[in-house]
Every structure is written in C-alpha cells, then in structure tokens.
Structure 1
Amino acid sequence: MSLFKKANALLQTKAVVTSFMPCLLGLLFAGNYYHSFHLFNSLMIVVSVVAFHLAVNAHNQYKDYERFRGKDSNNNILKNFQITPAQARTTIIGLALFSMVIGLILVYRTGLPVLWMGMLSFAVGYFYSGGPYPISKTPFGELFSGLTMGYNITFLTTYVNMYQLIDIHGLWFKTLIVAIPAIFTISNIMLANNIADRREDPALGRKTIVYYWGKKGGLLLWQVSFVIAYAGILLAVILGYLPVLTLLCLLTIPVVWRNTVRFSKHPKKETTFLYAIINAQLILAATVIGGGLALIF
C-alpha cells in the first residue's frame, strides 16, 4: 500500500476544507469590517489551523484503533491500512508541534489572545477523543466541535489581521455573529454522523445528544441548525459585519433543502451522510464568494 494512501486515510485530508472555510470567513470579516489584511499572518494561521486539524484527525483514528483493537471494522483505519501505532503517534506529535510553533510565532507577532484561544483549541482537540471521558462520547460533541472550529478559527483569523488597530472593542461578540454559519454547519456534520451511528454508538459507550433526543429530535435539531446558519448571515449583513453580496448564499437554499430532505428520510453513513458535508461547504463557500466579490468590486 502506497505511503500516500496511508497518509490520506490516517489524516482524513478531505476534511480539512471544514477548517479552511472559517479561515476564509475570518479574512472576509477582517477585510470588510476592519479594512485590514496581513498576508504573512493569514498564511501562518491557515497553515497552523490545517496542521492541527490533521493532527486531531490522526488522533481520532488512533483512538479508534485502540477502541477496535483486534476487530474487523471500517473504523479501524490503522489496521485496515497497515499503519503502525508508532507511525500514527509520530505523525500526531509532529503535526501538533508544527502547529504549536507557528502559533507561538503568531503570539509573538500579534499578542496573547492567540495564545489563549490556541490553548483552548488544543485542549478540545485532545479531549475530543482522548482522556478518560472523551467529549465525542457525550451530548456535547456538536457544541465543542462547532465552537472550536467555527468560532475559534474565525476569531483567530480575524484577530491576526487586525490586531494592530486601536479600536477592537466588541471583537469577541462581533466575531460570534459572523461565525454563526460556521458554528452551526460544522456542528451539523458531527450531528449527522451521530444520527447515522445512533444504533451502534450506545454499544461503544457513546451517549451523544441523539441518544437522549432520539432520531426525530436529532433530525429536527439538524434541520433547524441550517435555518440558524442562514439567519446568522442575514444578521451579520444587517449589522454591517459582512457585505450585502454575502446574501448570495441564499441562492443555495433550494439545494441545501433538497439535501436536508434526502438525509432526513434515510440517515445513513454510507449513502446520505455526504449531504451534511455538502450543505456545510455550500453555505460557507457561497458566503465567502459573495463577500469576496464585494471586496473586489
């Protein structure tokens, strides 16, 4: 088996788009509202975020290996792709340290908020699947994944692009409004995963929100979250945080609704789970493209 296939399986590289989109959202916010942009800082934060996301993906795969040790399972990536635990650990540590070094450079260049948010993100990244009580086994997996990836990344990217400004009053709250579509679409990917795995999860000790709310409750939350994502974009435009052209994302509603119906009818990992990822990327990509056009023209 080629090294490329092994790396792709361990790192789940296709998922990095999920962390890249909040970076673009933060760049859009910084450029539109604060009229500030730093190319070097932007590149550094993107590389750091992607590297850490890959490290977290590998860590999740490593923990799945421990959970399914000696068993034949599609989730046992290390066994299926002949990746040794030592190789996985080396990859995880290397990527995490690389991300950390870049983060510390940004702390030196821009200030302590990067350090505090970075430390929080690292803690969530580890405890999501690690530790005695992994977050992924609790009803709070969606909340932590949405806030960490949707809010933290958007905030960090915004901050490193406007840190030098005197007036940064309300940045935390303003970024929260801008990040609403990222928070809810990213958390919805995790929610869709848990809905699809609702029968297998209890046997693995995972009592997610779907375990408590049931299939119908989980699907209702999943559907409402997309509505909130669109409402967040509208609110950000009304408040002037994002440009009006950002509302081009509303053109994606018919496609998102169709995908939502398809998944709701048959929520399965093998067939319809992909619609959750497509919906998230459609909403965020359309938002960024519309906002980007406004900055250009």
Structure 2
Amino acid sequence: MKPKVFLEFVEIQSMVASILPFIIGLLYVWYNARAFHLGVSLLLFVVIELMHMAVNANDNIQDFIYAKDEQTFKKITNVVGHYQISVRLAVEIILGLSSIAAILGLVVTKLTWGATSGWFLTLGIIGYVVGYFYAGGPLPISHTPFGEVFSGVTMGYLIMLATVYVNLAPQHALTWTMAGHVFLASGLAVFAISNIMLANNLCDVEEDRLNGRKTIVVLLGQRFMLLIWWLSYGLGYLMLVASVVVGLLPKLTLLALLSFPLVWRNNLRFSAVMIKSKSFVYAIKNSVILTVSFALAMGIGILFNV
C-alpha cells in the first residue's frame, strides 16, 4: 500500500482530534500538580495515535463492507473501494495498529501501577471497547444518534484524563474530584471533537439515509443539528471560561477566546455549502485553531503564572 493511500485509509487529517486533549492534559497536570513524566507521556501519545488510526481504518472498512450503495459509495466515496484495498490487507493493518497500541498500553500500565492501580487499565479497556463498537458489531455506534457523544467524551475527556493520570501515577492518586475537574477543563476539546463527527454526519445526511444509518442528523434533521453544531462551540468556550473562574486553568487561558472570530468565519463557510469534499475541512480547521489557541494561551498563563 502506498503511503498516500495508507494515510487516507487511517484518515490522518483527523488526528488533530486526539492531539488536542493530550496537549491540554499535559498543560493541565503541570499547572495543577507540577507533574510531568516525559517517557510515559510519549508512550501514551503513541498509544493514542495508533488507536485513533485503527478506529478510523476500521470505520472505513466496516462502511465498505456493509454499505447498501454499491455504486457511488463503494466505488467512489469510500477509500477502500476507491483504491481497491483488499479486505484482508485492511484487517491486517487494523490488527497491527491495535496490537501495537495494546502492547504499549500494557507497558504504560506497568509503569503507572501504584497509587490508583487499575485506573489506566480501566481507561484503556473502555477506549478499546468504544473504539471497536464505534464502527463494528451488529449496531455500530457511528450509525446511531450517539456517535457524537461517544467520540467527544471518549477522545476529548478520556484522553485528557489518561494524560493527567499517567503523569500523576504512581506517586499521587487520581480522585473522583480531580476526574470531575478534568471533565470541566476538557469541555472545549469534547465539543470540538464531537463537532468533527457532527460535521461529517451533516455532510453525509443523504448518504446515511440511503445506507440505513440512524445518525442524529438523519433523525432530527440537518437544519436543527446545524444549529446544535454552532451552539456546541459556544458551550465549549463557556466551559473554558468556567474552568478559569474556578481556578482549574490560568487566567491568561482566556486569551484562547480570541480564536472565536476565526471559528465563527469557518462556521459560516461550512454552513453555506455542506458538501463533504468542500466543507468538512472547516471542522478540522476549527480543531486546529482551538488546539493552537488553547495550548498557547494556557502555556503563556503557566509561564507568567497568571
């Protein structure tokens, strides 16, 4: 398989969705606990990205296998059919990526075993289960109205929580209170990631209807869910402000609000033409903008202790 085809198969352009909560997690744990372990953090990052690629690849092969549209979707739209990737090769790639991630995940579990034994293992199991059933099983999560919730919470929150945990363990316990604080601080990441999934479903609403998928856009309508797409970014920003107000993030993290005009402009462009080949990129751009602005603003706040 050529590198270009592989990168398209694993949807490399969407990897920013898992990078955002990881970066925020590192900054969060440093600001709140002055904890940072380079080696285990790098291992966790590799695990996260390998699993993200495996889930994306599994999504593509499952869509190809079970699609009802034999002509347009299978032969042109879907990357497996478009590049004539064999099902066997696709499965081998998915198993290879997920197996390496599992092995490295066990290494991280061993290194962090201590004060809250089992936390990382539990998070890893949840990630694996959601990762598989997101596109696999008799009723894939991505074909239901819950795809946005699972993708946003699993990637936006659990990745950040895992990042915080591996930098605290084994010397410090991860409490339920801290888990709640991390959830509030992860709000911008949760909504940015869920909106990538929502943008995908907004663009694919007719295709999803044709293939029998019951996404939330199919059930509630494109117009209504476009409004929710807009509001979700606003809720993410509000959770950012709330995190600063209660002291979970430095005050200068509010500088990230300066990204709002850029996100607003991308939202207008997305709303004008909801065609995947032309508009989906704006959801990705929003995630990049939010990643950079959040990381820079929080980094500045940590640097100047404000």
TM, length-normalised to structure 1: 0.95
User: What is the alpha-carbon distance in structure 2 between the residues aligned to residue 17 and residue 227 of structure 1?
Assistant: 20
- For residue 113 of structure 1, what is the aligned residue in structure 2? 119
Q: Secondary structure at the match of 2:261?
A: helix
Structure 1 residue runs of 4+, over 4 Å off? none
Aligned AA for 1:93?
L
Kindly indicate whether the alpha-carbon contact (under 8 Å) linking 2:112 and 2:169 is maintained by their aligned counterparts in 1.
Answer: yes
Aligned AA for 1:286?
S
Aligned AA for 1:218?
M
2:92 to 90, 93, 100: 90
Match status 1:23 vs 2:22: yes
User: What is the alpha-carbon distance in structure 1 between the residues aligned to residue 268 and residue 44 of structure 2?
Assistant: 36
User: What is the alpha-carbon distance in structure 1 between the residues aligned to residue 171 and residue 247 of structure 2?
Assistant: 18
Identity %: 38
- For residue 104 of structure 1, what is the aligned residue in structure 2? 106
- Written as runs of structure 1 = structure 2, the 5 A alignment for 1:40-189 is 40-68=39-67, 71-73=71-73, 74-111=76-113, 112-166=118-172, 168-169=174-175, 170-189=177-196
Kindly indicate whether the alpha-carbon contact (under 8 Å) linking 1:154 and 1:175 is maintained by their aligned counterparts in 2.
Answer: yes
- For residue 205 of structure 1, what is the aligned residue in structure 2? 212
User: What is the alpha-carbon distance in structure 1 between the residues aligned to residue 240 and residue 215 of structure 2?
Assistant: 28
Count of aligned residue pairs for this structure pair:
296
Kindly indicate whether the alpha-carbon contact (under 8 Å) linking 1:237 and 1:243 is maintained by their aligned counterparts in 2.
Answer: yes
Summarize deviations over 1:233-277 as a string: whole Å, max 9, x none.
111111221112211111111111111122223222121221111
User: What is the alpha-carbon distance in structure 1 between the residues aligned to residue 184 and residue 270 of structure 2?
Assistant: 27
Kindly indicate whether the alpha-carbon contact (under 8 Å) linking 1:64 and 1:75 is maintained by their aligned counterparts in 2.
Answer: no
Aligned AA for 1:283?
L
Distance apart, 1:223 and its partner CA:
0.7
Structure 1 alignment gaps of length 5 or more: none
Structure 2 alignment gaps of length 5 or more: none
2:257 to 250, 255, 258: 250
Summarize deviations over 1:157-215 as a string: whole Å, max 9, x none.
11101123446431210110111111111001111111111122111111111122212
User: What is the alpha-carbon distance in structure 2 between the residues aligned to residue 129 and residue 20 of structure 1?
Assistant: 21
Kindly indicate whether the alpha-carbon contact (under 8 Å) linking 1:262 and 1:272 is maintained by their aligned counterparts in 2.
Answer: yes
CA RMSD of aligned residues (A): 1.6
TM, length-normalised to structure 2: 0.92
Kindly indicate whether the alpha-carbon contact (under 8 Å) linking 2:155 and 2:193 is maintained by their aligned counterparts in 1.
Answer: yes
Distance apart, 1:80 and its partner CA:
1.7
Kindly indicate whether the alpha-carbon contact (under 8 Å) linking 1:42 and 1:161 is maintained by their aligned counterparts in 2.
Answer: yes
Q: Secondary structure at the match of 2:276?
A: coil
Kindly indicate whether the alpha-carbon contact (under 8 Å) linking 2:254 and 2:297 is maintained by their aligned counterparts in 1.
Answer: yes
Kindly indicate whether the alpha-carbon contact (under 8 Å) linking 1:33 and 1:240 is maintained by their aligned counterparts in 2.
Answer: no
- For residue 273 of structure 2, what is the aligned residue in structure 1? 266
Summarize deviations over 1:5-64 as a string: whole Å, max 9, x none.
221121112221211111001001101111100001110110000011111111111112
Kindly indicate whether the alpha-carbon contact (under 8 Å) linking 1:178 and 1:242 is maintained by their aligned counterparts in 2.
Answer: yes
